Structure 1
């Protein structure tokens, strides 16, 4: 496949394994990614993970704010195929229609489940036990194109969005290279997505990051796992935002306590009542502080018992 001319479109770290695999196995003639953006409190202008790989490999780079209006530079390259992975923009019909082998997307879910920009987060938050990778033809609507191939992976109870992200990134690169020869030869069975089975993995909003302790312990734990390590979940205690990274489920039930109330404090855990039991916080980050274990947090808290009865909002 080294003579296959490929234009790759992607932006975040998730795309890097796919791009590197294409560089090893095909002729990547250009990389299209989003413009550099300001990141963090200091607003440092930062290159995308994909741009860094393109520069390291001396590959032609196109950075487009709106590919719908800036597609001519892509078409002029006369590529055989366009492959996208977490690119974050819809492609216009002018691009979709021109490559010989079409426009192919690597998506981090088992479509038609979890269409959208945050399928890995949502798979954990929504309590899925399996997810996977879909190689698909691109359409003009969000993740609605015909399925070419899929491979599933179990979501382990110890997974968070970080670990699952890394597993799926590797799986996506592997499945794409397995699938490309069949795309080129035309030996594929296009599967039209069943619209009745569609679910969505929409991007995470600030509101999504807030923990509602009126939920069940499984729902609360899944949200914490599904947002760890980024963007992280949070709750408010004494008007201070506390980011929550790790927790475990406890056994006790407190019928007379309020949801969100701190009911116990161990040397390495803060126990919070939820609708059907308790959640024990293990790793947190109070606003203005570094990420720390609850044990370290409590070591700096003079009167630990004063926490009991306070309520997370």
Structure 2
């Protein structure tokens, strides 16, 4: 069973769909406004990463044909949610820790403390959209986004879900900038992976081999051996001679969102045509081959 990418969402300053990832990042683009897409109701007291995650989830689930009127069109217990975010609620955690250190736990806001949960983006997504399948967050550095896709694939192959919403998102704020030493992308992407027999919409791409080794160079070499026809690469990292890199670095530090943004960008490559059948993604020591969807018969 090869998972199909049936829904895609992109929310980055200056890029509001997958095709926007293949264009130069516009200078001084305004920030993404989740309220403009999903309304203000339910966003109050949510941190920036959670608001962005809800925005992405709404668009991706709708694109996959799994959401209508804010509720799932298929049984909610067959839709899982996997989130990748390394920096997501770091601002909330730091603020809560500082409040406790300076005043005591009695000074904490009851509206703020739930946002300190490491799984807050995934759990809020599940609550808002009625997703009752497995629910988890991956947070392990640059490879996190592709690892989230791998876990989504495992859930599908194991029959735990028919669809998995995979969201990669990072916020830009004073805390995250301090942690990474510069601007953060302030957004991300989401994709819906579906079992092909359960897909409500045609595939945008297929998730081919996923590889993880000790070193990025080894991962790149392993992907090339398994899918030698791939000539487009989504870095950062080493690429084989003759391959053309698609650079996503102009969007800022993507961190945990990187792998999911790469997957979204691959769907745009296939939509543009040009005969490309494989796009390789490399993020840290994790790599994935995204395959062009099968032509309609």
TM-score of Structure 1 vs Structure 2, range by shorter chain:
under 0.3
Q: Which has the higher helix share?
A: 2
Tell me which protein shows more strand as a share of its residues: 1
TM-score of the aligned structures, taking structure 2 as reference length: 0.24
